Structure 1
Amino acid sequence: MKQQVYALYQKMFQKMGPQGWWPADSKEEIILGAILVQNTNWQNAAISLKNLKAVTGFSSSQIASLSIENLQELIRPSGFFKSKSQAIHEIFTWLIPFNSNFLKVKNYYGKSLRKKLLSFHGIGEETADVLLLYVFDVSVFVADTYARRLFTQLGTPELHNYQSLKKLVDLSRFTLVEAQEFHGLIDEFGKVFLKRNTFETSFLNDEKINLRQE
């Protein structure tokens, strides 16, 4: 099945081209964006990012030193600001001893890094995998809503939750850059053909992949 998944990626990349995901100028900005975009749209998250950049320049130490009240006010436009402020504060405080050296963090935690990310307030499976993929340079599959909708349309049944798809997708053939592009391609495809249920008009309409078949 990993050959079929890689062929799907190649077809999407040939048709859509590079997506440049995650859109950010630094890994600190990626962390913030991944948290702020939870349960809202990117436009609202972008306002909060602009507020944070003006005050902190996306410096980890300056973000960590913000009071919770100040942080909440800066990110209010993205909603759920109490929960998100706690997540931001916890993660950036955690990064301080590592001097925001993400390779050092990755090497220190090894295979337990995902578990550590999940231990932070407000960090669920999708956000943890986004951080692994784009911040810590680990080739993982982000089995978000668009990904589950896509593989359901392609013929894989019973994708009720995040793990139901994640455990089926093998990215061992993918380079890191390809894994990053794959997530971006799926989400950009989803915005056009899955959000409004127009999959049958897409270039993938004739593709069939059932990841549950042996």
Structure 2
Amino acid sequence: MINPVPLYKEMFQQMGPQHWWPADSKMEIVIGAILVQNTNWNNVDMALTNLKDETHLDVKQILNLPTETLQSLIRPSGFYVNKTRSLQAVLKWFDQDDCNFALMADKYKSDLRRTMLKLPGVGEETADSLLVYVFDQPAFIADKYARTLFTDLGFRNLGNYSKLQKRIWLPESFTYQDAQEFHGLIDEFGKRYLKSRRDFDASFLGGFDKHQLDRP
């Protein structure tokens, strides 16, 4: 098992707090997590702006939109037919409990992640992002940058999301705020240093000893 806390502390010391995810509300995070799949944030930003102008990101207003209208509004994010279907299903799920995130966390308890994975268009990365940023629960988001980072650190056989996540061990002291910062740090590090192995080797993690990450 991998204890990532020493890595997190080193990255935090070197890079400082990231205050990630870029959003004004938790519902904006929910919508953004659906729209960002298979695209970049600039495209998501355009789609979010369209939705804000039309609905102020009010869940009931979005759900009342004709499907064709919603498709048109989120078209800049790409794959707008599938994303419309996913967005409608996910927002309907939240609307059943009036978007009361604390109530939903208490209602589903340990089944929360499993329940979200049953929603159309919600995969492991999206579910974990919602756990961390919306439901305020610690989880490790094993996205592409994270898999590249741990591969460059010398870990092997991390070909997909679940392979890395199953090897991560988070201590009880690791909070959801830590999870948010760690995800932000990894993604910002990725943008700067994970474009090539040469960039990683030249970074402040180039000489990091992976044995520091052995679970105690």
What TM-score bracket applies, with the shorter chain setting the length?
over 0.9
Deviating above 3 A after TM superposition, structure 1's stretches of 4 or more consecutive aligned residues are 210-214
Q: CA deviation at 1:202?
A: 0.5
Residue 212 (structure 1) shift? 7.9
Q: Is the 8 A contact 2:169 2:215 kept in 1?
A: no
Aligned mates of 1:41, 1:176 — CA distance in 2: 25
What's the offset of the Cα at 1:209?
1.9
Percentage identity across paired residues of the two chains: 51
* SS of 1:90 mapped into structure 2: helix
Equivalent in the alignment of 2:206: 205
Q: Distance in 2 between matches of 1:81 and 1:57?
A: 19
| Residue 17 of structure 2 corresponds to residue 22 of structure 1 | no
Q: Which moved more, 1:95-104 or 1:76-85?
A: 95-104
> Relative contact order: is structure 1 or structure 2 higher (C-alpha 8 Å, sep ≥ 6)?
2
How many Å separate the matches in 2 of 1:96 and 1:83?
20
Structure 1 residues 148-181: Cα deviation after superposition (integer angstroms, max 9, x where no partner):
1101111111111111110111122312111110
Q: Which runs of 5+ in 2 are unaligned?
A: none
Provide the C-alpha distance between the structure 1 equivalents of 2:215 and 2:19, rounded to a whole number of angstroms.
32
Contact 1:143 1:165 in 2 (8 A): yes
2:54 match: 55
Q: Which runs of 5+ in 1 are unaligned?
A: none
Change (3 A) 1:35 1:183: same
Give the equivalent residue in structure 2 for 1:45.
44
Deviations 1:62-112 (A, max 9, x none): 122222111100000010000101111001111122111011111111111
1:140 aligns with 139
3-state SS of paired residue (2:62): helix
SS in 2 for 1:98: coil
Deviation at 1:19, TM superposition (A): 0.7
Give the Cα–Cα distance (whole angstroms) in 1 for the partners of residues 215 and 138 of structure 2: 24
Q: Residue 21 of structure 1 contacts residue 180 of structure 1 at CA under 8 Å; is this kept in 2?
A: yes
Greater shift, 201-210 or 78-87, is seen at 201-210
SS of equivalent to 1:110: helix
Residue of structure 1 equivalent to 2:160: 161
TM-score of the two chains, using structure 2 as the length reference: 0.94
Q: For this pair of structures, how many residues does the alignment match?
A: 213
8 A contact 1:20–1:181 mirrored in 2: yes
Q: What are the superposed Cα offsets for residues 126-161 of structure 1, whole Å, 9 maximum, x if unpaired? A: 111101110111100000111011011111111111
Secondary structure of 2:31's match? helix
